[in-house]
Amino acid sequence: MKKIAPSILSADFSKLAAEVAEVEQAGADYLHIDVMDGHFVPNVTFGPNVIQSLRPCTRLPLDVHLMMTNPENYIEAFAKAGADIISVHAETCPHLHRVLQLIHTSGARAGVVLNPATPVSALEYVMDSTDLILIMTVNPGFGGQTFIPGMIDKIRQTRDLIANQSRPIEIEVDGGINGETAKSCADAGADVFVAGSFIFGKKDRAQAVQSLRSALS
Ligand SMILES: O=C(CO)[C@H](O)[C@H](O)COP(=O)(O)O
Ligand SMILES: [Co+2]
């Protein structure tokens, strides 16, 4: 079944626990948490302490998207704080294979994120250490941007690469996801759909989750 991962980037931070409870009750599958460092991307968001505070508030797997330089210095801290999935950008990791191993030894599932400009070939020699591939469908840094249609072909190419693997690997898409773009990504082979503004920008979040669910079914 396709998975929905609301991104708290667009939530009301003054009542984060209630926001999370709302999307959990509405049937979300993962909780997507965007960590931005002000270096790799211009924006600054959360550190491990926010994840630690959220951990007892939800049963949802915490899907942590690290948009930061030198992520290897923070993997253990995020894992200890309660991250279930930790995804690093290929662009920030000259020693990507080693970082993925570090994520595994810290007890989390390991994801690799590709910026729109990064080719699928960046994944070729790390497939044995990857549990999730996150295809950015906008340039990272901000919520509420417009989906880049050229990424559909990239999802197809990633699906082809996974076809040769014996282990299950999920394809996640992130940026500009709504009912229509989610459906196109699903048809191309995506499994997990991150949505920030589409869900938290609506007054009725449950209805937003359900409309994404029905677009995917
Ligand atoms: O990683 C991200 C931005 O870098 C966010 O997860 C993403 O942009 C979600 O926001 P929206 O659904 O509003 O595009
Ligand atoms: Co994200």
pLDDT digits (tens, 9 = 90+) for 39-71: 999 999 999 999 999 999 999 999 999 999 999
pLDDT reading at 164 higher than 90: no
Identify which of 26, 33, 98 has the alpha carbon closest to the alpha carbon of residue 67: 33
Identify which of 120, 106, 117 has the alpha carbon closest to the alpha carbon of residue 64: 106
Distance CA 200, CA 186 (A): 21
Render pLDDT for 146-160 as a digit per residue (tens, 0 to 9). 999 999 999 999 999
pLDDT reading at 131 higher than 90: yes
Task: State the number of CA atoms in the 13 A half-sphere of 170 facing the CB.
Answer: 21
Identify which of 158, 85, 93 has the alpha carbon closest to the alpha carbon of residue 120: 158
* Residue 47 known to bind ligand: no
pLDDT reading at 92 higher than 90: yes
How many secondary structure helices (H) and strands (E) does the chain include? 8, 8
Is 174 one of the annotated active-site residues of the chain? Answer: yes
Residue 134: in which H helix or E strand, if any?
Answer: strand 132-136
Give the range of the structural domain holding residue 98, as residue numbers without chain letter: 3-216
- Rounded mean pLDDT, 90-98: 98
Pocket mutation for ligand 1, best pick of 132, 138, 185, 197 (most atoms within 8 Å of C-beta): 138
| Domain CATH number, residue 11 | 3.20.20.70
ipTM above 0.95, yes or no: yes
- Rounded mean pLDDT, 133-148: 98
**Contact of 5 with 172, CB cutoff 8 Å:** yes
How remote is the CA of residue 2 from the centroid of ligand 1, in Å?
18
Residue 212 identity:
L
Render pLDDT for 110-125 as a digit per residue (tens, 0 to 9). 999 999 999 999 999 9
**Contact of 37 with 65, CB cutoff 8 Å:** no
pLDDT at residue number 5? 98
Residue 216 identity:
L
Question: CB neighbours of 16 closer than 8 A, spacing ≥ 6?
Answer: 8, 50, 54, 57
Render pLDDT for 165-212 as a digit per residue (tens, 0 to 9). 999 999 999 999 999 999 999 999 999 999 999 999 999 999 999 999
- Catalytic residue among 37, 63, 131, 174, which? 174
- Rounded mean pLDDT, 7-32: 97
How remote is the CA of residue 97 from the centroid of ligand 1, in Å?
25
3-class SS at 23? helix
How remote is the CA of residue 8 from the centroid of ligand 1, in Å?
9
* Residue 200 known to bind ligand: no
- Rounded mean pLDDT, 17-46: 98
- Looking at the 3D structure of the chain, how many domains does it have? 1
Distance CA 197, CA 212 (A): 12
**Contact of 104 with 165, CB cutoff 8 Å:** no
